[in-house]
Structure 1
Amino acid sequence: MEKIGVFIIVIIGLTFGSCQSEKSTSNSESKYFTDSIYSNHLREYRKHNIYMPKGFSKDKKYPIIFATDGNNITENNFYKRTLDSLIDNKAITPLLLIESFSNPKIADSSYTDENRDKFYLDYRYFEYVENEYHRNPELSARFKNHLNYFHDELIPTVEDELNQNPSKNDRYFFGVSNGAGFGMSLFNKKPNTIGTYLCFSIFGGRIQSKIWYENVEYPSLYLEYGSEEPLFLKEDADYLRSKFKELGLHVFINEYTGGHDYSIWNQKFIEIIVELFGNKKHSKH
């Protein structure tokens, strides 16, 4: 994979535009706003952020990244600043980014740690980590319902609103930590929808317990994890490397120097999207 080093640092520094929390009426600049849809699977409204590149037109088709862990938009947001700079400098082709929010409310307070101190689990945990045996039926079903929301409601609704009808190969997924664990479950259970997954520091993905089938066209995978993270991340990566080789699948696995760190994940995100969406390479995609 190409190393872009100082080039990326320079072009990211070129753009420090403010972000938007409302939809802009101008087409001369990128748009970054929060929207929501009602989920029948989750029986609640769910928010998501949408990034649209400068000059976006519903008459054009764009690659789309669907991501977990959307957050409230802040000034100088990393994703808007980064995508604006890379696109403006023609380092990548224009694309759409959809960031799905999780539910941050506390869902369960019945757990205790080794010191018998109570700790709290929010809905995000149950949405991202498959746990079919929880004593609360609603929480037990939360993972499945959230996966169905993401796959059956969020993706088609946003694509329809933006007049996009991408092929599998023009859909991408990005997630970190438990969000990456959810991504690997989506990867395994719904292999025909998204063509490429970027999953960093996978927590809660139950990697080695998943069933993999021959003659299934699984997506491509870019997996990153840190040298200072728990050993099971390396064990899971080694397992996936072996399993994907056995199945003849494309996988890129890298161990970076460091830990569970957003600053590293951000840099890896830049490196990989330049690899994937660099104008010359994407034209051959």
Structure 2
Amino acid sequence: MKRIFILPTTAILFILCVTSCVSIEKAIEKPNSESKIVIDTIFSTYLNEHRIISTYLPKGYTNENTYPVIYATDGQIIIDSYAKSLDSIIATKVIPEFILVGVYSNETIVPNSEFEYRNFEYIKDWADENDTLLNSRFSNHFKFFSEEAINLIEKKYSVAKSKNGRHFYGTSNGAGFGVTLGSENPDLFSNYLCFSMAGGNYGNLKWTESNFPYYYLSYGSEEPFPLIIAIKEFDEFLTQKKFKHSLNIYNGGHDRKLWKKEFLKILPEIIK
């Protein structure tokens, strides 16, 4: 599903050029006087390209503590717009301190196509079966996200390194990616916040009665009908299999502001 993004392509390219020269910072030893957003770049050997990762560190961050962490798809539209709200609910003790990591997607338009590389990275088996390069995008991004991006964060910051302290957040195609990711690698994250899921694949389910993750599903009453049908089918699948999950329907459509509202509402159930 095509999405509208806040940052223009020129801005993203500028950020990439600037941050690609930034080396990994030294470990933070003293608590932050203010929250901060750190931008890193990583060269993915799987994707054979640089990727940007933005990390929200709470005001009291220190290496002496280990923080729960949420890894989000489409980091370019997550971190900056969420920071002030996270500052507020952490300061008022609604939730404890935690770290939010936004992994950027590739919004470049595929040559001779109306779609972005992002679509092929998030949706499994979406490319023409004869297009080897595009077909490999999903599996390569899958490994980049679940291995390279997480390894970078775990080496640089004092974050949880086990399933219980790691969580996933995605919207639209990014949420669909989360459904596929959790189905095929159930020991990576304990909770998946998947809003307005588009393109999820759970045909290769590798869950057992003891290791399945918890899915928080949410969508708007005014979403496109095919998307609603797909989410309801996933909800029914989880219900039939007796996998615990939740489904919420909010008033509205495919809207970033509403996704943010849902995210902040669910956070106290995730970060305790």
Q: Specify whether residues 213 and 51 from structure 1 end up closer, same or farther in structure 2 by C-alpha distance, changes over 3 A only.
A: closer
Moved more, 23-32 or 264-273: 23-32
Q: Within 5 Å, which residues of 2 pair with 1:118-197?
A: 120-131=114-125, 133-197=128-192
Asked if residue 85 in structure 1 is aligned to residue 79 in structure 2, the reply is no
Cα pair 1:61 1:166 within 8 Å, conserved: no
1:46 to 51, 60, 63: 51
* SS of residue in 2 equivalent to 1:174: strand
2:32 to 24, 27, 30: 27
Moved more, 23-32 or 163-172: 23-32
Q: Give 5+ residue unaligned stretches, structure 1.
A: 1-20, 111-119
Deviation at 1:37? Answer: 1.1
Q: Partners in 2 of 1:84 and 1:90 — Cα distance?
A: 10
* SS of residue in 1 equivalent to 2:216: strand
Deviation at 1:165? Answer: 4.0
* SS of residue in 2 equivalent to 1:138: helix
Rg larger in 1 or in 2?
A: 1
* SS of residue in 2 equivalent to 1:107: coil
Q: Partners in 1 of 2:207 and 2:88 — Cα distance?
A: 41
Q: Specify whether residues 213 and 158 from structure 1 end up closer, same or farther in structure 2 by C-alpha distance, changes over 3 A only.
A: closer
Q: Within 5 Å, which residues of 2 pair with 1:196-211?
A: 196-206=191-201, 209-211=203-205
Cα pair 1:50 1:96 within 8 Å, conserved: yes
Q: Partners in 1 of 2:269 and 2:208 — Cα distance?
A: 28
TM normalised by structure 2 equals: 0.83
The aligned counterpart of 2:223 is 229
* SS of residue in 2 equivalent to 1:98: strand
Size of the alignment, in residue pairs?
A: 246
Q: Partners in 1 of 2:120 and 2:186 — Cα distance?
A: 22
Deviation at 1:135? Answer: 3.0
Deviations 1:73-103 (A, max 9, x none): 99xx321101111111111110000000011
The aligned counterpart of 1:220 is 214
Cα pair 2:31 2:60 within 8 Å, conserved: no
* SS of residue in 1 equivalent to 2:217: strand
Give me the identity figure in percent.
37
Moved more, 243-252 or 62-71: 243-252
Whichever residue aligns with residue 70 of structure 1, its letter is G
Whichever residue aligns with residue 206 of structure 1, its letter is N
Cα RMSD, aligned residues only: 2.4
The aligned counterpart of 1:246 is 240
Whichever residue aligns with residue 252 of structure 2, its letter is G
Whichever residue aligns with residue 73 of structure 2, its letter is T
Q: Partners in 2 of 1:216 and 1:232 — Cα distance?
A: 32
Cα pair 1:108 1:122 within 8 Å, conserved: no
TM normalised by structure 1 equals: 0.79
Deviation at 1:72? Answer: 7.3
